[in-house]
Amino acid sequence: MNIRTRKLIGTFGLLALVITWALLAMAFAQVLVIHSNGFVKFIYYALAGLGWVLPAMPLISWMSRPDKTT
């Protein structure tokens, strides 16, 4: 698979990951009791906002892998 195809697939994968992550973070925020304290709410949303980076790292490294030479 060449790099252009991997980047196309990876772009749609990242888009799906970010959308799913945001929806799950909002759903968990409604279930958890974070509404009583503004500081707890800030920490939760900061961690949830940055949390998608770890699952995206393997996908990004796969996307940027150079083509195999034959």
Q: What's the pLDDT at 38?
A: 84
The average confidence (pLDDT) of the chain is 89
pLDDT at 50: 92
Residue 20 pLDDT exceeds 80: yes
Residue 45 lies in a domain: yes
Tell me the CA distances in angstroms from 33 to 14, 38, 39, 49, 55, one per residue in order.
Answer: 29, 11, 12, 18, 26
pLDDT at 70 over 70: no
Residue 70, in any domain of the structure:
no
Q: Are 67 and 1 in contact (CB under 8 A)?
A: no
Domain assignment present for 68? no
Task: Look at 56 and 70; give whichever has higher pLDDT.
Answer: 56
| pLDDT recorded at residue 68 | 82
Q: Which helix (H) or strand (E) holds 7?
A: helix 3-31
Residue-number span of the structural domain to which 41 is assigned: 3-62
- What's the number of domains the chain is made of? 1
